[in-house]
Amino acid sequence: QVHLVESGGGLVQAGGSLRLSCAASGLTFNSYAMGWFRQAPGKEREFVAAINWSGTSTDYEDSVKGRFTISRDVAKNAVYLQMNSLKPEDTAVYYCAARFFHIATMDSQYPYWGQGTQVTVSS
């Protein structure tokens, strides 16, 4: 059974920072690419960031480039999303996802998902 559990969400003011964490179990963590997606009210779930199995390659949605950083700790079976310079438009439920080896940007390409953590950015 694969489990992905997000944590670290909360309420922050615009310009502030949060670090999201995703703890994984039930999979060979160093064989999976990890991604972060988000879904705001009334909107489709969208890609945020991804990192490959070795941690040597990353990909970001354009609106978060330069503000968000994805990283992973293979020894801890964990992936992180450091979010700086947060904007109200970043408000959403953030989901951690996993797939075999390769980075992908479409949610349909990820078979494993966490339950989500709420991020709210006030203006």
Confidence of residue 53 (pLDDT cuts 50, 70, 90): confident
CA distance 27 to 6: 16
Question: Backbone phi, then psi, for 27, in 5-degree steps?
Answer: -140, 165
Does the pLDDT value for residue 30 go beyond 80? no
pLDDT grade for 64, boundaries at 50, 70 and 90: very high
Nearest Cα to Cα of residue 93 among 50, 61, 51, 45: 45
What is the Cα 64 distance to its own chain's centre? Answer: 12
At residue 38, the pLDDT reads: 98
Contact 49, 58 (CB under 8 A): yes
Task: Give me the pLDDT at residue 123, please.
Answer: 93
Q: What is the mean pLDDT of residues 15-39?
A: 92
